[in-house]
Amino acid sequence: IDLSTSDLSGIVADIAEEMKAAPDRGTPAAYIPPLAKVDPAKFGMAVIEADGTCHLAGDAEETFSIQSISKVFALTLALGHVGDQLWKRVGREPSGSAFNSIVQLEFEHGIPRNPFINAGAIVVADILLGRNEPREAIGEMLRFVRTLAGEDDIVIDREVADAEAATGYRNAALASYMRSFGNIHHDVERTLGVYFHACALAMSCRQLALAGRYLMAGGMLPSTGRRIVSAQRARRINALMMTCGHYDGSGEFAFRVGLPGKSGVGGGILAIVPGRASVAVWSPGLNERGNSQLGTLALERLVQRTGWSVFEPA
């Protein structure tokens, strides 16, 4: 499909309009008050093309809790710290289980299946902690995301971070269980502090799409010419997003959308069209697997109309 910039603007605007009439918006997460109080009617979409052209629709400028989408940025940063040694502590296979599942950890001796389920991201947080204080690791994570997006006003929502910590029994269980196998190296409260603050990053669709550009551009930050990761590492992170980015809904997302994508329980999804675009969508209502209902639908329609699936012949 030959697309002009104005075609793409029209497509993005049309999709946002269509989402207003969608019959089933899913159910927003309610496990913490700051997520439960978000207006379920919100919908935002941001598409940033390789040349930097930005298409926004709906609530694309409104910040929301990026939650598990932060697992992509945390993994990228942790790989920068320890390189491929990281894979001794975290697997690379889809789990087929819920995002917060503990069952596979027993059979796999405390090695989580992949970095995008909670257990895997908690190990990644433990790596980010390294020899630092949690406050420093959290600060490094925030600075990294600001660099990726090229925006200094991105913040961590303290109310969300505190609520995650106050209710995070399941995450505490995962961390303690992995610690019993020696795969968490710090006090679990300290590691979880890093994990919860990363989940609590507040970003808009526009900021998220900006932050995802390095994965579209073979590891380079397009606006600056600065390399964030090697081309091989960017390709591998995209592969993990495709196979593991939507938990036990990853196969369904690949089937319907066909792009590397990472969802968060706040209703956001970051999707990468290698070489072409970085896309972020947000709608708080979730499907039964905890992935944004309308966010997925919007991406499905975007891919239908642009031919952007990675499985489409060029």
- Give binding residues as ranges: 68, 118, 164, 171, 195, 247, 265
Query: Quick one: which of 63, 67, 76, 183 contacts ligand GLN (CB under 6 A)?
Result: 67
Residues 297, 232 contacting (CB under 8 angstroms): no
Does 191 help bind ligand GLN (rule: CB under 6 A)?
no
User: In the complex, what is the shortest distance from the CB of residue 284 to ligand GLN, in angstroms, rounded to a whole number?
Assistant: 12
Does 199 help bind ligand GLN (rule: CB under 6 A)?
yes
Residues 99, 117 contacting (CB under 8 angstroms): yes
User: In the complex, what is the shortest distance from the CB of residue 203 to ligand GLN, in angstroms, rounded to a whole number?
Assistant: 13
Query: Restricting to residues 230-259, which ones interact with ligand GLN according to CB under 6 A?
Result: none
Q: For residues 57 and 121, which CB has a smaller minimum distance to ligand GLN in the complex?
A: 121
Q: For residues 35 and 57, which CB has a smaller minimum distance to ligand GLN in the complex?
A: 35
Residue positions counted in the chain: 314
Retrieve residue 257's tokens: 């959308």
Binding residues for substrate: 68, 118, 164, 171, 195, 247, 265
Q: How far is residue 86's CA from residue 74's CA, in Å, rounded to a whole number?
A: 12
Q: For residues 258 and 264, which CB has a smaller minimum distance to ligand GLN in the complex?
A: 264
User: In the complex, what is the shortest distance from the CB of residue 252 to ligand GLN, in angstroms, rounded to a whole number?
Assistant: 15
Q: For residues 27 and 100, which CB has a smaller minimum distance to ligand GLN in the complex?
A: 100
Does 99 help bind ligand GLN (rule: CB under 6 A)?
yes
Closest residue by Cα to residue 307 from 258, 263, 260: 258
Catalytic residues, by residue number, are 68, 71, 195, 247, 265
State how far the alpha carbon of 160 is from the alpha carbons of 33, 39, 74, 141, 257, in Å.
8, 16, 18, 16, 30
| Residues that contact ligand GLN, how many (by CB under 6 A) | 11
The site string for ligand GLN over 285-314 (x = CB under 6 A, - otherwise) reads -----x------------------------
Query: Quick one: which of 49, 59, 157, 164 contacts ligand GLN (CB under 6 A)?
Result: 164
Q: For residues 32 and 221, which CB has a smaller minimum distance to ligand GLN in the complex?
A: 32
Query: Restricting to residues 113-142, which ones interact with ligand GLN according to CB under 6 A?
Result: 118
Does 100 help bind ligand GLN (rule: CB under 6 A)?
yes
Q: For residues 57 and 137, which CB has a smaller minimum distance to ligand GLN in the complex?
A: 137
* Residue whose tokens read 């309009």: 17
Does 264 help bind ligand GLN (rule: CB under 6 A)?
yes
Binding site for ligand GLN (CB under 6 A): 67-68, 99-100, 118, 164, 171, 199, 264-265, 290
